[in-house]
Structure 1
Amino acid sequence: MRVRSRRGGNAMSLRIVLPAVLAIACFANADPGRIVVSFDDWTLSATGFNPPNEPGVLVQNTAAWFAEDSIGSFIGYGGAFHLGAQQLLDAFAAAGHSYVRSESVTLELTELQDYDGVFIGAKPMGDLPGNVGALMNYVNGGGNVYVYGGTDYYGSIAEDAAVLNSFLGSFGLECASEMIVYRGSYPLSSTHPVLTGVDLLFTDNGTAVSDLDPADESNEVLEWYGGAGVVAIYDGSLGITAVESGGRWTDRLSVQPYPNPAHNAVTILYARSADRGEDLRIYDVAGRMVRALALGTASGTATWDGTDSMGRRVSAGVYFLRLTDGVRQETARLVYVR
Structure 2
Amino acid sequence: MKQMYKKVKIMLLSFVAVLFCLSINAHAGKIVLANDEWTLSNSGFFSPNDPGVFATNVGSWFTGGSTGNFLAYSSNFGLTQSSLANAMTSAGNAWTVSTAVPFTLATLQSYDAVFLSGNSASNSVLIDYVNAGGNVYLAGGTGWGGSVAEANQWKAFLNNFGLGFGTYYNGIAGSIAIDNSHPIFAGVDHLYQNNGNDALDILALDPQSTVLVSYNGHGLYAVYESYTPPTVPEPSTFVLLAAGLAGAGFFVRRRKK
CA distance in 2, matches of 1:77, 1:6: 35
TM-score by structure 2 length?
0.78
1:241 Cα deviation after fit: 3.1
Partner of residue 301, structure 1: none
1:84 aligns with 2:80: yes
- In the alignment, is the contact (CA less than 8 A) between 2:23 and 2:232 conserved in 1? no
Partner of residue 134, structure 1: 125
1:86 maps to a residue whose letter is S
CA distance in 2, matches of 1:36, 1:82: 15
**Pairing partner for 1:95 from 87, 91, 116:** 91
1:86 Cα deviation after fit: 1.1
- In the alignment, is the contact (CA less than 8 A) between 1:36 and 1:233 conserved in 2? yes
CA distance in 1, matches of 2:232, 2:100: 36
* Identity fraction in percent: 36
Deviation readout 1:276-304 (Å, 9 max, x if unpaired): xxxxxxxxxxxxxxxxxxxxxxxxxxxxx
Partner of residue 209, structure 1: 199
- In the alignment, is the contact (CA less than 8 A) between 1:40 and 1:149 conserved in 2? yes
1:105 Cα deviation after fit: 7.7
Task: Flag the structure with more relative contact order, 1 or 2, with Cα contacts below 8 A and sequence separation at least 6.
Answer: 2
Q: 1:33 to 1:158 in 2, by over 3 A?
A: same
Partner of residue 50, structure 1: 46
CA distance in 2, matches of 1:183, 1:215: 30
CA distance in 2, matches of 1:161, 1:189: 26
How many residue pairs end up in the alignment? 214
Structural mapping, 1:159-178, within 5 Å: 159-178=149-168
Q: 1:122 to 1:241 in 2, by over 3 A?
A: same
1:241 maps to a residue whose letter is P
1:122 Cα deviation after fit: 4.2
TM-score by structure 1 length?
0.60
CA distance in 1, matches of 2:23, 2:52: 29
Q: Which ranges of structure 2 fall in alignment gaps of 5 or more residues?
A: 1-20, 235-257
Partner of residue 229, structure 2: 241
- In the alignment, is the contact (CA less than 8 A) between 1:7 and 1:31 conserved in 2? no
Q: Which ranges of structure 1 fall in alignment gaps of 5 or more residues?
A: 10-29, 126-130, 247-338
Q: 1:92 to 1:213 in 2, by over 3 A?
A: same
1:80 Cα deviation after fit: 5.2
- Across the aligned residues of Structure 1 and Structure 2, the Cα RMSD in angstroms comes to 2.2
CA distance in 2, matches of 1:148, 1:244: 37
CA distance in 1, matches of 2:130, 2:54: 20
Aligned-partner SS, 1:124: coil
1:151 Cα deviation after fit: 2.1
Partner of residue 268, structure 1: none
